[in-house]
Each structure stands twice: as structure tokens, then as C-alpha cells.
Amino acid sequence: MEQATISRPAAAPAKSSMMQLIPVMLCFFTMGFVDLVGSATNFLKQDLNLSSAQAGFLPSLVFFWFLIFSVPTGMLMNRIGRKKTVLLSQLVTLLSLVIPVLGDSYPLMLVAFSLLGIGNAIMQTSLNPLVSGLIAPSRLASTLTFGQFVKALASLLAPYLMSWGALGIVPAFGISWRIVFPVFALVNIASVLFLGATPIKEERADKATGFLECIKLLGIPFVTLCFLGIMCHVGIDVGTNTFAPQILIEKFGYAVEDAVVGTQIYFYFRTGGCLLGSWILARMSARNFFAASVAAMIGGIVCLFIASSPATVLTGIALIGFGNSNIFSVIFSQALIAQPREKNEVSGLMIMGLFGGTVFPYCMGVAQDGLGIAGAIAVMTVGVLYLLFYTFRIKTVK
């Protein structure tokens, strides 16, 4: 089958300096703070004696705000610029990290996780287009993948901080697994100061648009395919992040502090996949690499279904982590390059697709309550099958 092509915009962005990319990559690190919700949910489920559905609602709540704030953020960027919008997102994220230090009630955590979701929705909508203004289209997918690698470092660090705190290995602050919140808050402050002091010349603002005009872009079939692909990617990501420890708990009787190894394995391989993917995508067609990634996830799902030992479960989690590591970058870059005159609006739509992080964990929690952990895995399988379908719709940049 002959592959369709995407033409580059008329003018490629100017080359960026290292001093511009470093603070932007630090922002990608703070973007990864949202992934602490997976491990935190398992600790909160134990601390507050929550049901699976109640626990699953916490990550669902975080990603619900992507549905509400992503498109308005795309319009906000047209008014105040991408850098200022990223800085706004950092301040909201900082507030979300301070609140859990003040108390541990379920309502308070709902507020904190809501602010974490709002801040991350604004950040992901504005940071990716900011990068696109610094990088040539042919390098965009690999650069965004490297950003996802940096983001994954924070995702990987979070469960370690929580488990160290829970085991008393980190006595400072004296707040058990909650040590993750003040530590990440300090990094967040550094990111705000670094980016705020860095001059970045942005592309000319896109034309002013309204909410309905942004939504109408979903009438473009390829944009809709990308939107659904983002939903499935993040659903698999948050679902694995949240439910990997629960597979070990339900099937093999692991304690929560030990079961966090499932999340750690996931982020090890997702982090390694991002680092490797940033190199491969600069040398290999996006379609072929995407197909290999989906194949790895299918293998991982099979391992989870047939698992008879912890080693098989961890192998499945590793395959899903590695396979899912570069899905976002490929889909997002495809959408931006396909509609170069509406980057802000398309970015808002794609990040709105992270609402899949609400749909999947909640459905997985309900399925787990009714059918056991196999029900949760079955829900995640639906997302993997869609990505297999999307593989044959990927276009190439000429």
C-alpha cells in the first residue's frame, strides 16, 4: 500500500539553542509529576480503605480536566503566547503539590488531584507546540520522544520516593510516602524560575479562534483518528500505572509496598523506550516503529492474561511500558504536521484526548470489582486493538 505523505509548512522554525531546550526539557520533567497519581492511588486505597471503584476515580478525576481545559488552553495561547501559558500551568501544578502536605482526607486529595490534572492539561497543551516552534518538522517526533523520556524520569522517580518514604528510608519531613509532594514542589519552583528567565522567540500567534472552531477540526478524519489514538495511549498508560500493582496484589498476595515494583518496572521500560525511540525515530519510518511498539503491547497483554507467576506479570508490564513509550510522540507530531496552520488548536484537541486517562481507569476499576483483575486487563486490550488499527493510517513526512 502506498503511504500518504504530509507536506511541511512553508517555513521551518529556526534552530533552537541549548539554553532554550534545557528549561523546556525541565518542564517535561515536571509534566511527569502527573504520573505519581498511579502509585499514590494504591497507597491512598490502603490508607483510606477505598474500594477499587473509589480508588480508580482518583486517576480518572486527574484526567477528566483534560476534557475541560485543553481546547480553551489552545485559545489562551493565541492571546498570551505559549511560554506564558506553560508558566501558568507550572503555578497550578505547584499548588496541587502543596495541598497534600496540609492533610490526607479523601475530599482534600480530590482537590489536589483535580489541580494536578488542570495544571497538567494546560502544560501538555502548551509545551508541545512551544517545542514545535523550536524544532524543524522532520525532527519533531524524535524531539518530543526525548521530552517524553525526560517526563518518564519523573514518572520513574515518583514510586521510588513513595516506597522509600513508606519504608522510612527517607526520614526527612516525616510524612511517609507523601514525601513525594514537597520534593516535587521544590523541583517545580526551580522549573518556573529557569523557564521564566529564558528568552524564547515564539512563532507568530495563530489566528484567533473560538471553541466551536477548534472542535470542528474533529471533522477532519485524520485529526479524529489521532484524537482517539491519544485517548487509547493514555488510557493504557494510566491503566497500567494504576493497576499493575493490583495484579500482583490480587494474584500473588503482594503487600502494597512490594507491589509498587509493578509500577517501577513499567516506568523503567517506558523510560528506556523513550530514550531509544528518540534515536530510532530519527532513522526509521514512524509507521514501522509504531507497528513494532504495538506488537510489544499485544505481547504484554497476552502475558497478563496467561500469567501464572510474578515474573510473567512483570514481563507483560515491561512489554507494555516499552511499547507504549513512543505512541504519544508519533501521534501528536502527526497531528501537528498535518495541520501546521492550527498548531495551538490541534494541540488543544490532542491533549483533550488525554481524557482517556479518565475513561479507562474508571472502567477498569468497575470491571475489576465485577470480574476481577481479568476484567481490568480486558478493558485495556480495547485500547491496544485500536492502536493496531491506527498503525495502518500513519502518514510519512516528506
Q: How far is CA 131 from CA 15, 27, 71, 94, 102, in A?
A: 11, 11, 18, 22, 35
Q: What angle do CA 267, 271, 296 make, to 5 degrees?
A: 80
pLDDT tens-digit map of 92-104? 999 999 998 888 7
Least confident of 16-20, 175-179, 311-315, 320-324: 16-20
Instruction: Answer whether 28's CB lies under 8 Å from 21's CB.
Output: no
pLDDT tens-digit map of 235-294? 898 788 778 888 888 888 888 778 878 888 988 898 888 888 878 877 788 889 899 999
pLDDT tens-digit map of 365-396? 888 888 888 888 898 999 999 999 999 888 76
Round to whole Å and give the CA distance between 214 and 352.
Answer: 11
How would residue 353 be classed by pLDDT, with cut points 50, 70 and 90? confident
Look up residue 48 and give its DSSP letter: T
Number of H helices, E strands in the chain: 17, 2
